[in-house]
A and B are shown apart, each in its own frame.
Chain A
Amino acid sequence: MAMAREFLRQNGCVSLDEGSFNKRAVLRDSLAVAIPVGTYGAAFGAASIAAGFSVLQTCILSLLLFSGASQFAVVGVMGAGGSALSAIATGSLLGLRNGLYGMRMSPVLKLQGLKKIIGAQLTIDESTGVAIGQEVRGVNASRYGFWATGIGVYVFWNLFTLLGALGAQSIGDPSAWGLDAAVPAAFLGLVWPRLVDKKTKLIALSAIALALILIPIAPAGVPIIATVAIAIIVGWKKP
């Protein structure tokens, strides 16, 4: 954490003279999100190995892709025998929202050059969520929350990815350890908080039905990507 704080100071993300927000409180909020989320990296590491990816590929996904749902999707589609194209399409569509988060954070962070590259890579559900949550404490608190959460998740996510991958590699048959069920359970856990009303639940059930219908007749990966049509049809008309 000292490292993260040093990074924040060096890059002027935190103006030390403007003590207009409770830094300790923001840091606590950030770490309360970063540490538990980071540990899920172990689940990804294990799932990735179970899907046939190497430890190196698994770690590269966490280092370079760094977006949980997209990472699970890539290993999920490839593990189910899908083509690279289906995996890329599914992972990328799930990564679209990070672009929208970037647009939301852009006027708050005002990034240029290398900081823009690093900031963009750290733009995920958690960093954006904490940053928005801290806006009531002021724009400096919001920036601090973004960097502290982003760096925190990045460090812990990558560390636990490696541990999960090495752990899974040494245990043999993934089914005997329940890893093949842990992957769909992870997707269920990711979608669960989004099912907030009748419409979202109906979309989820329709997507499940469409995917099951397509499994026997479409190439692997297509049953997943095809369900984007449901999101487009439902989202097209005004609520």
Chain B
Amino acid sequence: MNALWTATLITSFICFFLKLLGYSLPESILNRPVIQRINSLIPIALLSALVAVQTFGAEKSVVIDHRLVGVLVAAIALRFGANFPSMMFLAAIASAVTYNF
């Protein structure tokens, strides 16, 4: 089994298990305020890091290239209330134009 299959299947299994666990655990355990607070902040940290790595990362170096143009356009689109698909579409176009010319 290669790494892609490992990541695909094991993450799927764990995430399903986490969902099922929610229906099986007594509420008192995960209802503690500190767990709730940390849990609400984890996606912000991880998603922000993913934005950074996917925008600037190239192997082991930090680079500025066409992707940054796309992401900046996405930020502007979000700032003006664009919905998800049109935001991604604009980001892709801006990046593709920069890449090709």
Contacts and interface: CB of A to CB of B under 8 A. Distances in A.
A83 B3 contact: yes
Interface residues of A, number: 102
Interface string A181-222: 111111111111011000010011111101110011000100
B44 A204 contact: yes
B80 to A, nearest CB: 12
A226 B41 CA distance: 14
A234 B49 CA distance: 16
A91 interface: yes
Contact of A98 (B8, B19, B50, B70): B19
Contacts of B96: 175-178, 181
Interface residues on B, range: 35 or more
Contacts of A123: 19, 22-23
Given A101-B22, A187-B54, A203 B30 contact: no
A87 B10 CA distance: 10
B99 to A, nearest CB: 5
Given A65-B12, A97-B43, A185-B92, A84 B52 contact: no
B23 A98 contact: no
A29 interface: no
Given A84-B3, A84-B7, A185-B70, A95 B18 contact: yes
A119 interface: yes
B30 A97 contact: no
Interface string B44-76: 111111111111110111100011011100110
A92 B18 contact: yes
Interface string A96-138: 1111111111110101000011011101000000000000000
Interface string B66-101: 110111001100100001110110011111110110
Contact of A181 (B10, B11, B38, B71): B71
Contacts of B69: 181
A15 interface: no
A216 B47 contact: no
Interface string A127-157: 0000000000000000000000000000000
A204 B43 CA distance: 10
Interface of A: 36, 39-40, 43, 52-54, 57, 60-61, 64-67, 69-70, 72-74, 76-81, 83-84, 87-88, 90-107, 109, 111, 116-117, 119-121, 123, 175-192, 194-195, 200, 203-208, 210-212, 215-216, 220, 223-228, 230-232, 234-236, 238-239
Given A98-B19, A182-B92, A186-B84, 18 more contacts: A43-B88, A65-B15, A67-B15, A69-B47, A73-B50, A88-B10, A97-B39, A98-B22, A103-B25, A105-B22, A184-B74, A188-B74, A203-B41, A203-B44, A205-B48, A211-B49, A220-B60, A231-B44
Closest 9 CB pairs of A and B: A102-B22, A181-B70, A178-B92, A181-B95, A178-B96, A185-B91, A235-B38, A95-B15, A184-B54
